[in-house]
Structure 1
Amino acid sequence: MEDPKLNDTDRALGFTIPARHARGRIVRLGPTLDTILAAHAYPPPIEALLAEALTLAALIGSTLKDAGGQLTLQAQTDNGIVKLLVCDYKGGELRGYVQYDADRLAAGPEDPSLFALFGAGYLAITFDQAATKERYQGIVPLDGDTLADAAQSYFVQSEQIPTLLKLGIQRQPDGRHVAGGLFLQHLPEGEDGRERLHVRLDHPEWEHVAILGQTMGADELADPVLTLETLVWRLFNEEDEVRLLAQVGMSRGCRCSPEYIAQVLGQFPPEEQREMADENGMIVVDCQFCASKFPVPVADVVS
């Protein structure tokens, strides 16, 4: 019987370092990532891009305190090879897809940079809070070498929270994918009545944590033999106290279904429903997230 510790994937683990006023999240994806990627059969550069985005979504989304909340990452441009990248996280479930120009991709370099894929694009990070019905969004340009660079800029610029993001993605010899990520942040001390971070000129406690975080290698993050607890210990074993938080399991989760789609179609007027139907009276809805087609009889549409 396989030892689960030798295949530590599809979960996120949170932790705090009280003396350093820091918090972190570490995640590793395996079968969940393969399931999402397999549905699309993307070429390697697009596959790698979506794997990075899904890992980011898992890292950031798993920090949501609202169990019903949703985190959405959207990267978009008007003049790049990639037209649109969307992925989201909700309650441990991940999904995502990419729209791209196959001809331009084939004509480009074998290993295109982020700029080659997007040109002058931007990254939007949207938080939807189910409990309060609030939504807030931050948008940053895709100026860095990776999506993680752009996401890190979002937290520093939009939320003024010192942040470190590191990712590691590997394709195993048998074709499987393993992706890992590390997310470190300085806690907003102002919430406890102290001076807020963005008005201070130095953060020695955070600098210490960030330096340690930078030592984490991409190969370690994507190594399924190393447990997430082991990685946290490697980084912070000399700290006085590191508190591990509850873990979150990860899975592929596309929320489309014939019943749900019928309810959505029911919001259209009957005449528009008939216009969408084919000669057999079927409305065929294509879900970009799971690459599936859902034929729904007009008679089954819920008005």
Structure 2
Amino acid sequence: MSEGRLEGADDVVLPFAVEGLDVRGRAVRLGPSLDQLLARHAYPDAVARVVGEACALTVLLGSSLKFEGRFQLQTKSDGPIDMLVVDFDAPDRIRAYARFDPERLAEASANPRTGELLGQGILAMTIDQGADFSRYQGVVSLEGQGFEEAAHQYFRQSEQIPTRVRLAVAEEFHEGGRSYRAGGILVQFLPSSPERARQADLHPGDLPEGREAHSLDEDDAWVEAKAFVDTVEDHELVDPGVSSERLLYRLFHERGVRVFESQAVREECHCSRERIIRMMRNFSADDRRHMVGDDGRIGVTCEFCSRVYDLDPAEVEAEVAGEQAG
């Protein structure tokens, strides 16, 4: 089954392949890294669960990058959670931030679905390889669906790769309080013959009456792989006693699953004083003067990690001038 070292640990993403079905994929487990990320903001449980799902999906997608770039997942919508941003800096750093309306959140149902909390809007997935390369962005509509279906929609319309995603988030209660865990699995059909991976056209939405939408029989290997993934239960993705290796063996052992070297994942923000100063260059001198508080200082709080930067206005002006001169 294995190639490389088995981990069975938290905060890792594990690539795998099932050659008998022509599929490849990744499984992710997030534990302390996710809990630390959520603890920085003390999100209500419903928001924490949505952020956890988004983080698991972002790691599944971002960990496929073969270069040191950034994969970003961002939502803008009209639901109680009107904005969510998750950054994955390859190969292993993640950070996230969610903005929500407490009053509207309180009006939501007792156990709201992710789609209910996001509402209507857009989900954007962006790959940024740095200043020397063009950014790539794919956008899908949010129409009350959750992240799983949004990911399926993204791959149908943007990548044309048959893909199946499962995500789950859970709480652990212990003497010290509670903590969060998240997990996910992504499986993609990548046969050597592109014809085998063809999918039906997207529904046009305005077919004349009596006309049927284009349909296409799926490859038997992909039908089988999807059926296996659809048997995954939430607890199998987050249970500390069910490692990713064990789950993959249950799903695909008859077809011969092979796992590769796992990659650790850590929660870490990349904000810094230097980045804040560079950001200040985007504001006019007058705008910067209006940032000075009653105490004569400029306070800047990073929305991702909640770190507060206490800056001397005179030092800021001197450093901004130096940056502009350089």
Question: TM-score when scaled to structure 2?
Answer: 0.83
How has the CA–CA distance of structure 1 residues 225 and 286 changed in structure 2, closer, same or farther, with 3 Å as cutoff?
A: same
Note the C-alpha offset of 1:202. 2.6
1:252 aligns with 2:267: yes
Report the equivalent of 2:228: 212
Write the letter of the residue equivalent to 2:74: Q
Aligned residues: 293
Q: Counterparts of 1:13 and 1:131 in 2: how far apart (Å)?
A: 29
1:23 aligns with 2:27: no
Report the equivalent of 1:118: 118
Report the equivalent of 2:279: 264
- In structure 2, stretches of 5+ residues that fail to align are 1-5, 200-215, 321-326
| 1:54–1:87 CA contact under 8 A, matched in 2 | yes
SS of residue matched to 1:142: strand
| 1:88–1:96 CA contact under 8 A, matched in 2 | yes
| 1:161–1:188 CA contact under 8 A, matched in 2 | no
Q: Counterparts of 1:243 and 1:300 in 2: how far apart (Å)?
A: 56
SS of residue matched to 1:234: helix
Note the C-alpha offset of 1:158. 1.7
Note the C-alpha offset of 1:196. 6.8
How has the CA–CA distance of structure 1 residues 168 and 107 changed in structure 2, closer, same or farther, with 3 Å as cutoff?
A: closer
Q: Counterparts of 2:230 and 2:108 in 1: how far apart (Å)?
A: 32
SS of residue matched to 1:41: coil
CA RMSD of aligned residues (A): 2.2
SS of residue matched to 1:284: strand
SS of residue matched to 1:173: strand
1:237 paired residue among 228, 241, 253: 253
Q: What whole-Å deviation, never above 9, does each CA across 1:101-125 have from its counterpart, x for those lacking one? A: 1111113322223343233222111
Matches for 1:101-116 after TM superposition, within 5 Å: 101-116=101-116
| 2:196–2:219 CA contact under 8 A, matched in 1 | no
SS of residue matched to 1:300: helix
Q: Which deviates further from its counterpart, 212-221 or 255-264? A: 255-264
Identity over aligned residues, as a percent?
37
1:273 aligns with 2:276: no
| 1:69–1:131 CA contact under 8 A, matched in 2 | no
Report the equivalent of 2:162: 162
Matches for 1:197-208 after TM superposition, within 5 Å: 197-198=197-198, 201-208=217-224
Q: Counterparts of 1:250 and 1:103 in 2: how far apart (Å)?
A: 34
| 1:57–1:87 CA contact under 8 A, matched in 2 | yes
Q: What whole-Å deviation, never above 9, does each CA across 1:239-296 have from its counterpart, x for those lacking one? A: 1x43322211111111112232123224444343223222444221121111232122
Report the equivalent of 1:139: 139
Q: Counterparts of 1:6 and 1:15 in 2: how far apart (Å)?
A: 13
Q: What whole-Å deviation, never above 9, does each CA across 1:201-242 have from its counterpart, x for those lacking one? A: 432121111111112221111011222222221111111x43
1:298 paired residue among 313, 319, 322: 313
- In structure 1, stretches of 5+ residues that fail to align are none
Q: What whole-Å deviation, never above 9, does each CA across 1:38-60 have from its counterpart, x for those lacking one? A: 11111111111111111111111
Write the letter of the residue equivalent to 2:252: F
| 2:8–2:244 CA contact under 8 A, matched in 1 | no
